């Protein structure tokens, strides 16, 4: 939810939070409503399944690279020292 900073948030299970969010929405100027809606639409349009999959694939590649580095460092530290060299 950190992406939707312009959104008015409230728990549907809490009547007071819903009422406060509705009050804020109804009390804000039309200009502010339009600006918030324009911003939110732009964020939502950019958050699609392709972006989600790309993010997952990038995270997976990063984790594989980290695991590979850890294995390589572990193998190097277990090699015997010959003539003062590793």
Kindly give, in sequence order, each residue whose CB lies less than 8 Å from that of residue 9, ignoring residues fewer than 6 positions away.
1, 17, 21
Given this model, what pLDDT does residue 61 score? 95
The 10s digit of each residue's pLDDT in 9-61 is 777 778 888 888 889 888 999 999 999 899 888 888 888 888 889 999 999 99
Angle at 58 between CA 56 and CA 59, to 5 degrees: 65
Given this model, what pLDDT does residue 32 score? 92
Query: How far is it, in rounded angstroms, from Cα 51 to Cα 69?
Result: 27
Instruction: Please check the confidence at residue 78 and state whether its pLDDT lies above 70.
Output: no
pTM, rounded to two decimals: 0.47
Given this model, what pLDDT does residue 85 score? 55
């Amino acid at each position: 939810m950190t992406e939707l900073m312009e959104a008015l948030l409230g728990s549907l299970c809490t009547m007071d939070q819903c009422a406060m969010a509705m009050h804020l929405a109804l009390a804000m100027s039309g200009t502010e409503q339009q600006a918030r809606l324009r911003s939110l639409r732009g964020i939502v349009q950019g958050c699609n399944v392709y972006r989600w999959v790309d993010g997952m694939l990038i995270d997976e590649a990063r984790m594989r690279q980290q695991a590979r580095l850890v294995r390589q460092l572990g193998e190097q530290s277990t090699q015997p020292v010959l003539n003062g060299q590793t």
